[in-house]
Amino acid sequence: MARTPATSRRALLFGTAAVSAGALLTACTSNETKDQEPAADNAPVADDKPGKAVTIGFAGPQADHGWLNAINDNAKSRAKKYSDVTLEITEGSNDTAAQIGQIQTLINKKVDVLVILPADGKALTQVGLQAMRAGIPVINLDRVFASPQAYRCWIGGDNYGMGLNAGHYIGEQLKGKKNAKVVELAGLDNLELTQQRTKGFDDALKNYPNIRKVARQAADFTVESGQAKMAQLLQAQSNFDALWNHDDDQGVGALRAIDQAGRDDFLMVGGAGAKSAMDAIKAGNSVLKATVLYPPTMAASAIDLARALGQSKGVGGLAEFEIPSSLTLYSAVVTKDNVDQYLPTGFI
């Protein structure tokens, strides 16, 4: 996923493929000792034993959204698991100049590896390049820098996949219904991630000729905007069969509008993986039946990758000498059937 510059809220989660990726990464970062088979041709395998001490610098934007706060928590919690990792974490800022200054401080401290979730990927590209030129490898988290030379590895979510999987889930629920109608509550339309989520959704619906998208409203990832825009959708559409909402935070407001309108004649699919959404899915007492993940656990995996990189290890389960240059996490669909598995990853 190529993420564009974000707003201060979030320019914006642990699926089955992400679990697989996490299993690979855990193989190179756990402190528990296990017997391992050597990689092909004696390539170095990342083992589970504590190794070379690694200082990881972590710089992200201000945690003014539940997802971003979960990013910070995941990074801190993961680092604490490793006796050979020291985490230097910045305060976080949505001001690009301030974040650049924070990263330059980490560079001057000569940390071994940097993990950077930029407030604005394009604007912070130069400081990523500065770190790489100083011999400090960068793990670029989620919002991608404008140049691949500014990072050693990118790890993030799949916005197109979110829309695609939401569309396929809705399609399967409605495939037996003639002339089915769906509506979409999108995020900020000027963000590429929003456009990618919508494109994935539309592409999925092409597989279901009985379904037609009849309306779309763009909100801005807040409870207030979700409530206002959902109210407009409900007024404009007297009947439809499914709603795809891009963000669980704005989904809180959307559910308020739905309750106020007394509507329960459709199913709703959320996005991102908030704990509140998972709780509602588990309770089964609302129109919200599923959410498509955009896992904040990516920050924990970024720490895993940074540790492996700092110790000159590859990823357990892969034959290569080096960690991958990119890792895109899968957008799993969480339903009542599997919500208990994913509930620990839900963000507040």
CATH number of 16-158+296-329: 3.40.50.2300
Question: Which is nearest to 244 in space by CA: 287, 186, 168, 159?
Answer: 186
Least confident of 34-48, 227-241, 307-321: 34-48
pLDDT at 65: 80
Token pair, residue 246, equals 């891009």
pLDDT of residue 163: 98
Q: Which of 74, 104, 70, 101 is nearest to 87 (CA)?
A: 74
* Structure confidence at residue 316 (pLDDT): 83
Q: In the prediction, which pLDDT does 48 show?
A: 59
Residue 332 pLDDT > 90, yes or no?
yes
SS3 assignment for 58-73: EECCCCCCHHHHHHHH
Portions of the chain given CATH number 3.40.50.2300: 16-158+296-329, 159-293
Confidence at 64, pLDDT banded by 50, 70, 90: confident
For the segment 189-202, the average pLDDT, to the nearest whole number, is 95
**281: nearest Cα among 341, 223, 331, 337:** 337
pLDDT, mean over the chain: 88
For the domain made up of 159-293, give the CATH fold.
Rossmann fold (3.40.50)
Residue 84: per-residue pLDDT: 97
Q: Is the pLDDT of residue 315 over 70?
A: yes
Report which secondary-structure segment, H or E, holds 182. strand 180-186
> How far apart are alpha carbons 169 and 171 in whole angstroms?
5
The pLDDT confidence band at residue 203, using thresholds 50, 70 and 90, is very high
Q: What is the pLDDT of residue 47?
A: 52
Task: Point out the least confidently predicted range of 22-36, 64-78, 100-114, 268-282.
Answer: 22-36
* 251-258: average pLDDT: 98
DSSP conformation class of 243:
E
| Residue 230 tokens, joined | 């959902």
Token pair 């039946």 in the structure block, residue:
289
pLDDT digits (tens, 9 = 90+) for 11-63: 332 333 333 344 445 444 433 333 333 333 333 334 557 899 999 999 999 98
Structure tokens at 310: 């700092």
CA 61, distance to chain mean position in Å, is 14
Strand pairing report for 333-334 and 211-218: unpaired
Interior angle at CA 166, CA 162 and CA 169, nearest 5? 140
